Amino acid sequence: MEPAAEFDSWYRQQYKTVLAAAVVCAAGERALAEDATSDAFVKAFKKWNSVSQMDSPVAWTTTVAANRVRRLQRRRINRINREARTAVPEATTDSYQSDRDALWCSVAKLSPRQREALVLRYVHGATQAETAESLGIASGTAAATLNQARSRLHEELARNGSIDD
């Protein structure tokens, strides 16, 4: 099969998987996740000769998308911080809380590493060892990160009444 046709077939099979992971990393911001996913697949296409030879091209592409989400979020935060330093303070409202459902609000409160660990473990079905390897951390650290993420999600969801404690 020609490389472009091979990539096209793989793209069609994996797009939803990578997008779902990016949505989790982006704490439910679908537009941000779609941008990051598109960028990741463009990068995968440009490097398809080497990416296609990897053990898990979808894991590589998901990592690229997650990294892109983090970069876009950092840029937004930096822009907001710059604007806040020059703006006149106003009364603040918690519009984020009212615009998002309880799950995404809770996911947004996790650290980027906790979100990535959850994606690897529960979206991609990676083992604890594979999760640790993908994150570049020890297996015990991966276990602790996952445990902390689950605990924090449970606490947040219980606090806002989304689940019974």
Q: What region, left, alpha or beta, does residue 52 occupy, with left being phi > 0 and alpha being psi -120 to 50 degrees?
A: alpha
DSSP, res 124: S
pLDDT digits (tens, 9 = 90+) for 144-157: 999 999 999 888 87
- The pTM score is 0.58
pLDDT digits (tens, 9 = 90+) for 85-138: 554 444 444 544 443 567 777 888 888 889 888 888 887 788 888 888 888 899
